[in-house]
Structure 1
């Protein structure tokens, strides 16, 4: 069976379909591996407070996870008091 033709960039139908299926399978496997990786290294934050400022919520997140929260002070009133309830099992 001759897989190659004289036209550059042209593949027969069966070979083209096989390569398309291989790309699809590799993409799905990569997406699955990335999901498992993200689940394994996800952080669990637990916080329940009343009348707490947003900047204090961000400080608490940094204490629990070690990660900084990026935000723009001009876009968000950091002194506004809110009730905050974050449970690690709420999104499962």
Structure 2
């Protein structure tokens, strides 16, 4: 799925358009998931608690751990929490 748009500089292609459309459509519709993540963030969880809640307890009620992580990525990437990525990636905390 590629789209070209006419601009003053000529034609330009949207790169990574699937991710862009997913962010545009998916993020705003995730109000329940946003509230759940916001409540978890208010507790200032460490990485173990974060993983335990998201993956272990499935607080996002996702169909799989990968889906839960994708939900988190979408929410953080769309700027719901004022940051561009979720607090933990691997074993490092993102500040």
Give TM-score, length-normalised by structure 2.
0.30
Q: Relative contact order, CA 8 A, sep 6+: which one is greater?
A: 1
Structure with greater Cα Rg: 1
Give TM-score, length-normalised by structure 1.
0.31
